[in-house]
């Protein structure tokens, strides 16, 4: 059933889609936002681990809406919910921890900086850091970011500090500072997409400890659901349609995007026509939608004449270690141990780019320090899995008593994930989701340099933890990937033969189709991607407004 045409239809309401809707609406254009998930309200955000982390409140169930996943091209696919972010208004910004770092100038020129890396498909961005910097300012102000930009070797050029002062820190941050400085490094405060004080009608943080994996019932987190979407709706130019699953982007006889076909909450097929179509479903899901949008004009998928849609998928390289401090053994030894403040907010970026390749890599990343997430079921399951045969009965109870008597300080690595031809998204017509659509099939093959880099960064983080003299120090892993941080499947670039999008994130082959989630990224950087996606969406939104007003489409 067709709906009345609008100027722009946006598919997805997270870090990319919401800023686009806001920019277009403020300029007076009519916008429909289609979101496959629910529109949760503050009352829906409960401190319930089973609801949030072990049901389909955010992530779909793998037997309902699977992704297919395999490590290496010679392995079989398995059903999983890997690489889903969140199905709700606001997307992954709703349950994120809100670690907000900017990318650095080097991230925009990785191919030039590193030269050819055998087995990698490196590419420079078609824009420079200076082109995105003003929109980082916009994104930080619109979302509400707290922090303090202190000097360090890889501080990116900034015109101003963060719009909000830093959150209150746990006193262990001072101990981390001393340890890192003692090693000759430069610890820095971690900027957060969390309000340190009331801001633009939203409440400041209540310091409840449950940021990651949970929505914020106070609106203090910089989710687009709490920040950008309400302002977009307030313009009166945006219609938000939750629980509407986009199934196809149609094209006209000239190959221009004509409409988005979607299933409404009742399962009825609807059609939304628009002058412009904007996709922001996540790098995996936007590629899937485009590959499933087959037509006589695009037999290999929408805007996929060069076969690059779905290629060059990147995540964030992941490594982790943790230090355990027994509370009962800390009297008079660790003055900070009794504080229940939730935020450590310390990072290291001394190894963001190495001066040479003596350690087997040059592009590194960021170490972020934090307290272990307090989810009790997660902790119990982890303890039960210890050892070859697991832990049960009294032995497990003893482990849980030790856990209750412990504070666990950990770090995570956000490392460069080198793009390569064998890490990609395709669709598998033999496996369909509950909407009857072929699902995304994800193949991951890690570049060996990634693993060398991640191990090196983990070892440096362990030096900091060891300097704090913990009761135990455990390496969790050095070869993982953070799949909710994803990009690369529709690279932007200057050459239509080597990229899917142009510098404005407009498809080379479909002049009224834009993609503004992480798909545009040629490189993953060494930081979480959310802030960069939002900043780029504000940039692209401003450019699209100019184009529409000038009649350039």
Domain boundaries, the chain: 6-550
297-330 pLDDT, tens per residue? 999 999 999 999 999 999 999 999 999 999 999 9
The torsion angles phi and psi of 466, rounded to 5 degrees, stand at -65, -35
In CATH terms, the superfamily for domain 6-550 is: FAD/NAD(P)-binding domain (3.50.50.60)
Tokens found for residue 116:
């050819």
Give residue for tokens 């309401």.
13
Which residues lie below 8 Å from residue 395, measured CB to CB, with a gap of 6+? none
The torsion angles phi and psi of 189, rounded to 5 degrees, stand at -65, 140
Q: Which residues of 373-396 are buried (b: 16+ CB within 10 A; e: fewer)?
A: bebeeebeeebeeeeeeebeeeee
What is the predicted pLDDT for the residue at 388? 81
The percent of residues above 90 in pLDDT, for the chain, comes to: 95
CA distances to 376, 394, 412 from 383, rounded to whole Å, are 11, 12, 19
Question: At residue 293, does pLDDT exceed 80?
Answer: yes
Question: At residue 28, does pLDDT exceed 70?
Answer: yes
Question: At residue 236, does pLDDT exceed 80?
Answer: yes
Asked if residues 195 and 220 have their Cβ atoms less than 8 Å apart, the reply is yes
CA distances to 352, 373, 445 from 74, rounded to whole Å, are 33, 36, 10
Asked if residues 90 and 14 have their Cβ atoms less than 8 Å apart, the reply is yes
The percent of residues above 70 in pLDDT, for the chain, comes to: 100
Asked if residues 12 and 21 have their Cβ atoms less than 8 Å apart, the reply is no
516-549 pLDDT, tens per residue? 999 999 999 999 999 999 999 999 999 999 999 9
Distance, CA of 522 to CA of 489 (rounded, Å): 9
Question: At residue 212, does pLDDT exceed 80?
Answer: yes
> Which of 173-181's residues contact partners 24+ apart within 8 Å by CB, and which partners?
173/344, 173/345, 173/346, 173/369, 174/336, 175/336, 175/468, 176/344, 176/346, 176/369, 176/464, 176/468, 177/346, 179/464, 179/467, 179/468, 180/346, 180/348, 180/464
2 pLDDT band, cuts 50/70/90, is: confident
What is the predicted pLDDT for the residue at 5? 96
551 pLDDT band, cuts 50/70/90, is: confident
Question: At residue 1, does pLDDT exceed 70?
Answer: no
User: What's the mean pLDDT in 50-57?
Assistant: 93
Question: At residue 552, does pLDDT exceed 90?
Answer: no
What is the predicted pLDDT for the residue at 425? 98
**Backbone CA torsion sign across 418, 486, 317, 93:** positive
User: What's the mean pLDDT in 124-128?
Assistant: 98
Question: At residue 287, does pLDDT exceed 80?
Answer: yes
User: What's the mean pLDDT in 351-376?
Assistant: 96
Distance, CA of 344 to CA of 176 (rounded, Å): 9
Would you list the DSSP string of 167-227? PP--THHHHHHHHHHHTT---EEPPBSB-SS-BTTBPPP---S--TTS--TTS-B--TTTT
**Backbone CA torsion sign across 426, 429, 435, 441:** negative
Cβ count near 484 (within 10 Å):
20
What is the predicted pLDDT for the residue at 511? 97
Mean predicted lDDT score pLDDT of the chain: 96
User: What's the mean pLDDT in 184-208?
Assistant: 98
Asked if residues 176 and 344 have their Cβ atoms less than 8 Å apart, the reply is yes
152-189 pLDDT, tens per residue? 999 999 999 999 999 999 999 999 999 999 999 999 99
Tokens found for residue 495:
């050459």
Tokens found for residue 181:
């400085």
387 pLDDT band, cuts 50/70/90, is: confident
Output the pTM of the full model. 0.98
239-286 pLDDT, tens per residue? 999 999 999 999 999 999 999 999 999 999 999 999 999 999 999 999
Distance, CA of 455 to CA of 466 (rounded, Å): 16
510 pLDDT band, cuts 50/70/90, is: very high
Q: Which residues pair with 412 in a beta bridge?
A: 320, 368
Calculate Rg over the CA atoms of the chain: 23
Which residues lie below 8 Å from residue 475, measured CB to CB, with a gap of 6+? 320, 321, 458, 462
Strands (E), 252-377: 257-263, 269-279, 314-326, 346-348, 365-371
């Amino acid at each position: 059933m067709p709906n009345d045409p609008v100027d722009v239809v946006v598919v997805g309401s997270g870090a990319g889609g919401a800023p686009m809707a806001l920019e277009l609406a403020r300029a007076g254009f009519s916008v429909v936002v289609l979101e496959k998930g629910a529109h949760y309200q503050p009352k829906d955000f409960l401190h319930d681990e089973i609801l949030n982390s072990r049901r389909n409140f955010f992530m779909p169930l793998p037997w309902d809406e699977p992704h297919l996943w395999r490590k290496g091209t010679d392995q079989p696919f398995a059903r999983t919910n890997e690489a889903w972010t969140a199905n709700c208004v606001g997307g992954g910004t709703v349950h994120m921890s809100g670690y907000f770092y900017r990318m650095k100038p080097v991230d925009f020129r990785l191919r030039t900086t590193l030269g050819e890396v055998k087995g990698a498909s490196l590419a420079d961005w078609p824009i420079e850091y200076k082109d995105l910097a003003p929109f980082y300012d916009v994104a930080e102000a619109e979302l509400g970011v707290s922090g303090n930009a202190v000097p360090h070797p890889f501080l990116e050029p900034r015109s101003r500090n963060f719009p909000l002062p830093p959150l209150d820190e746990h006193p262990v941050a001072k101990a981390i500072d001393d340890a890192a400085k003692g090693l000759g490094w430069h610890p820095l405060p971690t900027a957060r997409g969390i309000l340190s004080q009331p801001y633009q009608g939203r409440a400041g943080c209540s310091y409840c400890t449950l940021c990651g994996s949970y929505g914020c019932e106070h609106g203090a987190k910089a989710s687009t659901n709490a920040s950008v979407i309400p302002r977009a709706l307030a313009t009166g130019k945006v219609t938000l349609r939750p629980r509407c699953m986009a199934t196809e982007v149609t094209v006209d006889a000239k190959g221009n995007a004509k409409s988005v076909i979607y299933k409404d909450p009742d399962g009825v097929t609807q059609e939304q026509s628009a002058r412009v179509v904007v996709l922001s479903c996540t790098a995996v899901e936007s590629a899937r939608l485009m590959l499933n949008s087959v037509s006589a004009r695009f037999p290999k998928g929408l805007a996929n004449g060069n076969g690059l849609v779905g290629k060059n998928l990147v995540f964030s390289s992941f490594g982790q270690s943790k230090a355990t401090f027994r509370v009962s053994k800390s009297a008079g030894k660790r003055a900070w141990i009794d504080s229940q403040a939730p935020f450590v907010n310390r990072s290291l970026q001394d190894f963001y780019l190495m001066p040479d390749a003596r350690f087997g890599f040059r592009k590194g990343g960021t170490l972020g320090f934090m307290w272990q997430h307090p989810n009790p079921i997660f902790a119990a399951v982890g303890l039960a899995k210890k050892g070859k045969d697991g832990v049960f009965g009294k032995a497990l109870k003893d482990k849980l008593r030790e856990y209750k008597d412990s504070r666990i300080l950990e770090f995570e690595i956000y490392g460069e994930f080198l793009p390569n031809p064998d890490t990609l998204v395709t669709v598998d017509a033999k496996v369909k989701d509950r909407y009857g659509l072929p699902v995304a099939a994800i193949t991951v093959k890690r570049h060996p340099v990634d693993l060398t880099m991640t191990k090196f960064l983990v070892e440096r983080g362990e030096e900091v933890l060891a300097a704090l003299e913990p009761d135990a120090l455990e390496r969790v892993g050095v070869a993982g990937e953070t799949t909710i941080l994803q990009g690369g499947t529709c690279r932007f670039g200057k050459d239509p033969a080597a990229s899917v999008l142009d510098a404005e994130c407009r498809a080379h082959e479909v002049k009224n189709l834009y993609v503004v989630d992480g798909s545009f990224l040629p490189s993953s950087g060494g930081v979480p991607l959310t802030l960069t996606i939002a900043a780029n969406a504000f940039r692209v939104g401003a450019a699209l407004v100019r184009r529409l007003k000038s009649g350039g489409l």
